[in-house]
């Protein structure tokens, strides 16, 4: 062994202690504001169904209608791939998985809508619809037919509809409690938020419900729908959406972009209201930066071009929806809205192709990182985190299988979760 290098320092230990003491409040603030991703499954889409239309068979009906659309307009892998421009090697695996998904789990996230999709109704009618939604969702969880995530979108906190929205939420949640308690995967959406104070009001409302029923504090979370200009930029020029996340006091679970309300709010003409318009890109970029590290997920909006009519028209709508979904995935918007059963085939096709075409490369890079072997890319811990998250999302939605991921990476799901959601300051996860 060679001679040990002598190490010398100049600063007394008290200096380090003083700096640590000064930064202790910052350390606590970082932990509070930026806890990181929750590590739970994020659905690839949200389906909105009006409160008067939602029924016990809605989820299965959407899957059956989507399968019927495939049978009529793309009855085999080759024809479906030709419509969407999928590579030959992806055609079979994607088509097979899409059909299997539509048979097994056609909807990942469903929102019974009491806002724009429902409109203003007599109080007795909305009361009944809210109570029915609670009963049907409770029954779906009991008999195993529920989507992984289900809940309602209430009316907003603006004065004209505030009391109605609060009452609908109360009826819905009370109905769930009477049916056996709040189910896992419960999701609530607060639309048309303009001021952070409205988010705080929602938090107070849920806190009061929890206290009434003896639920743990913070049990009920909610999504904030970003569909007004004031939700993105406040009157003083600051980013309102960041304030809203904090105003939720830990209850915010998602930020959902409202394509058409937001576009209209900025004066975009109807013909150009789309999720790839520059105003949409700006809003979602602000949402994405505000949510980064907070554990709040961002969701893209939707297209209102429906795949209905003759085959040529369906194919055009499919291509549009597929391309918008792929565009969103490349921008790290891993969730979006689907407005029609015919959107399901292209939602899953886009998602599955996205994960399958990059699977082998991602698996190889992560395996090389874990095993400290060389390659043509020098990945850092943060990239290993992204690679782990990519593979987990592929597994969660059905694009990838556990066995094939294990075969190419040598890693278990628990290993991937360690990379995807490390503790702060602990990005150098040891090889298994």
pLDDT at 283 over 60: yes
pLDDT at 420 over 90: no
pLDDT at 423 over 50: no
pLDDT the model gives residue 375: 61
pTM of the predicted model over 0.85:
yes
List the domains of the chain with CATH numbers: 45-352 (3.20.20.60), 358-420 (no CATH)
pLDDT the model gives residue 145: 96
Query: CA separation (Å) from 284 to 107, 235, 278, 336?
Result: 24, 19, 10, 12
Strand 109-113 relative to strand 336-338: parallel, antiparallel, unpaired? unpaired
First-last CA distance in the chain = 30
d(C-alpha 301, C-alpha 245), whole Å:
19
**127-186: pLDDT as tens digits:** 999 999 999 999 999 999 999 999 999 999 999 999 999 999 999 999 999 999 999 999
d(C-alpha 38, C-alpha 36), whole Å:
6
pLDDT the model gives residue 378: 57
Say which range, 242-251, 325-334, 379-388, 397-406, has the weakest mean pLDDT: 379-388
Strand, helix or coil at 50?
A: strand
Query: What residues have CB less than 8 Å from 424, skipping those under 6 apart?
Result: 30, 31, 34, 36
Written as six digits, the tokens of 135 are: 């009963």
Strand, helix or coil at 298?
A: strand
pLDDT at 418 over 90: no
Token pair 């915010």 is found at 252
Percentage of residues of the chain with pLDDT beyond 90: 87
pLDDT at 6 over 80: yes
pLDDT at 373 over 80: no
Q: How far is CA 300 from the centre of its chain?
A: 8
On whether the CB atoms of residues 366 and 384 are closer than 8 A, the answer is yes
pLDDT at 224 over 80: yes
pLDDT grade, residue 379 (50/70/90)? low
pLDDT at 430 over 50: no
Strand, helix or coil at 130?
A: helix
Packing angle of the helix pair 196-213, 162-178 (nearest 10 deg): 30
Query: CA separation (Å) from 188 to 126, 163, 235, 242, 381?
Result: 17, 17, 27, 19, 35
Strand, helix or coil at 66?
A: helix
CA dihedral 14, 18, 21, 27 (to 10 degrees): -100
On whether the CB atoms of residues 76 and 343 are closer than 8 A, the answer is no
pLDDT the model gives residue 13: 85
pLDDT the model gives residue 374: 61
pLDDT at 242 over 60: yes
């Amino acid at each position: 062994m060679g001679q040990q290098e002598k190490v010398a320092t100049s600063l007394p230990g008290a200096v380090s202690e003083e700096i640590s003491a000064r930064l202790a409040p910052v350390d606590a603030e970082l932990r509070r504001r930026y806890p990181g991703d929750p590590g739970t499954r994020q659905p690839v889409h949200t389906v909105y169904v009006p409160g008067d239309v939602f029924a016990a068979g809605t989820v299965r009906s959407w899957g059956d209608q989507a399968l019927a659309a495939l049978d009529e307009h793309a009855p085999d892998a080759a024809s479906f791939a030709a419509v969407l421009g999928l590579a030959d090697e992806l055609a079979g695996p994607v088509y097979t998985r899409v059909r299997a998904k539509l048979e097994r789990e056609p909807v990942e996230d469903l929102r019974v809508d009491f806002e724009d999709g429902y409109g203003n109704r007599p109080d007795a009618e909305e009361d009944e619809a809210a109570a029915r939604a609670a009963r049907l969702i409770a029954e779906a969880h009991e008999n195993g037919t529920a989507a992984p995530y289900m809940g309602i979108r209430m009316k907003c906190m603006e004065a004209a509809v505030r009391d109605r929205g609060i009452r609908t939420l109360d009826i819905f949640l009370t109905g769930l409690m009477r049916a056996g308690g709040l189910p896992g995967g419960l999701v609530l959406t607060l639309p048309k938020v303009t001021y952070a104070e409205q988010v705080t009001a929602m938090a107070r409302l849920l806190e009061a419900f929890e206290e009434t029923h003896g639920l743990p504090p913070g049990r009920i979370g909610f999504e904030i729908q970003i569909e007004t200009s004031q939700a993105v930029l406040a009157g003083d020029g600051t980013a309102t959406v960041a304030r809203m996340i904090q105003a939720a006091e830990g209850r915010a679970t998602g930020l959902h972009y409202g394509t058409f309300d937001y576009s209209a709010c900025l004066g975009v003409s109807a013909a150009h209201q789309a999720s790839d318009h520059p105003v949409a890109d700006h809003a979602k970029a602000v949402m994405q930066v505000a949510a980064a590290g907070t554990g709040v997920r961002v969701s893209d909006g939707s297209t209102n071009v429906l795949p209905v009519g003759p085959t040529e028209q369906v194919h055009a709508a499919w291509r549009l929806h597929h391309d918008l979904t792929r565009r969103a995935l490349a921008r790290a918007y891993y969730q979006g809205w689907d407005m029609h059963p015919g959107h399901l085939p292209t939602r899953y096709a886009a998602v599955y192709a996205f994960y399958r075409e990059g699977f082998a490369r991602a698996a190889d890079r992560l395996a090389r990182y874990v095993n400290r072997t060389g390659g043509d890319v020098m990945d850092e811990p943060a990239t290993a985190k992204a690679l782990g998250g990519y593979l987990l999302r592929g597994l969660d939605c059905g694009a990838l299988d556990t066995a094939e991921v294990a075969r190419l990476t040598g890693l278990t799901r628990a290993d991937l979760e360690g990379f995807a959601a490390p503790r702060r300051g602990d990005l150098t996860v040891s090889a298994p």
